[in-house]
Amino acid sequence: MLNVYLKLLLTAFFWGGTFVAGRMIAGRISPSAVAFLRFAVASLVLFMLTWKIEGRLPSVRRRQVFPLFLLGMTGIFSYNLFFFKGLELISAGRAALIIALNPIFITICSGLFFRERLTLLKITGILVSVAGAIIVISRGSLGAILTEGIGWGEFYIFCCVLSWVTFSLIGKTILSGVTPLVSVTYSSAIGAVALFVPAYLDGMTAHWGGYTAVVWINIFYLGIFGTVVGFIWYYEGIKAIGPTKASLFINFVPISAIVLAFFILGEPVTRSLLFGGLLVSSGVYMTNMRRRELAAPAASSS
């Protein structure tokens, strides 16, 4: 079990790096091209890995085809289009803190669809996290949301949250009959095929000969570490400890993203970013805290 937790922690670190990689590419090539190339690379590696481990490309049951299609269209297609469009407009740290709302929405949906009970502590954690996200989005000026509204960058990243929640919950239903490797491989390929259409329309094939080494290095990072390694380990975590507990480790994504963005991109760490991040992290921890963890201090003092 310790191995599962370590993999989830490293996954969070790799995903924190995807925000930095996305910002480094932003403006150099179109968001749809980045998304397609990321999953074209990932799909190629995943198919080779699946063939080596399984000895073949496993078939899937008819009832699993549509869920796999939905995985590709939510966690791959829509998530990545919104992700890279958002990173063209806002900083890596801000985007990562909005993405940190994932566990909150996963917890709420798990309660609705999988009958996981929402305790008072979880509800409090949800409210605390949402408050932190509002501070981050508004840059510490709460009135700005009412007077100026939320920018397109924040809107796109919030759509990422909705896509990932759907991806995680569908993953729980399909993993009972498909290995994490196979589900990630097929959903990645489905997403890549869908992403080729907007990438082609944006002129990717006419321009990719001029992509710089920086672009390709970041694409391969996104494809291998941000996708192949990250997705497989995340799905292993969902299968081993459930979507609610596995999603808790997403809490570490904004921390690694902010630190990496500071050192690599030189992005400033503002007070509103720090305070909002603290509230988001605290709320996510409260939401996922188990009852016996609360009882332990009382028991030890008696």
Between CA 258 and CA 268 the distance in angstroms is 9
In a domain, 73, yes or no: yes
The DSSP output letter for 141 is -
The DSSP output letter for 29 is B
In a domain, 297, yes or no: no
Between CA 245 and CA 62 the distance in angstroms is 30
Between CA 244 and CA 168 the distance in angstroms is 10
In a domain, 130, yes or no: no
Of the CA atoms within 13 Å of residue 21, those in its CB half-sphere come to: 25
Based on the structure, what is the number of domains in the chain?
A: 1
Structural element, H or E, at residue 179: none
Q: pTM to 2 decimals? A: 0.78
In a domain, 213, yes or no: yes
Q: Per-residue confidence of the chain (302 residues) as pLDDT tens digits?
A: 668 888 988 998 898 899 999 999 988 899 999 999 999 999 999 999 888 887 888 887 888 888 889 989 998 999 999 999 999 998 887 788 788 777 778 777 877 777 767 778 877 877 887 777 777 766 666 665 555 556 888 899 989 989 988 888 887 766 566 777 788 889 999 999 999 999 999 999 988 889 999 999 999 999 999 989 987 888 788 778 776 677 667 667 777 888 888 889 888 877 877 887 788 778 777 776 654 333 333 333 33
Beta-carbon contacts of 123 under 8 Å, excluding residues fewer than 6 positions away, are none
In a domain, 171, yes or no: yes
Q: Which pLDDT score is estimated for 273?
A: 77
In this structure, the number of other CB atoms found within 10 A of the CB of residue 66 comes to 11
Structural element, H or E, at residue 85: helix 79-87
Q: Which domain holds residue 257?
A: 2-107+151-270
49-105: pLDDT as tens digits: 888 887 888 887 888 888 889 989 998 999 999 999 999 998 887 788 788 777 778
How many whole angstroms from its chain centre is CA 295?
32
In a domain, 21, yes or no: yes
**DSSP alpha helix (H) spans, 118-179:** 120-138, 142-148, 152-174
Q: In the chain, what are the helix, strand and coil shares in percent, each to the nearest 5?
A: 85, 0, 15
In a domain, 192, yes or no: yes
In a domain, 288, yes or no: no
Between CA 63 and CA 45 the distance in angstroms is 26
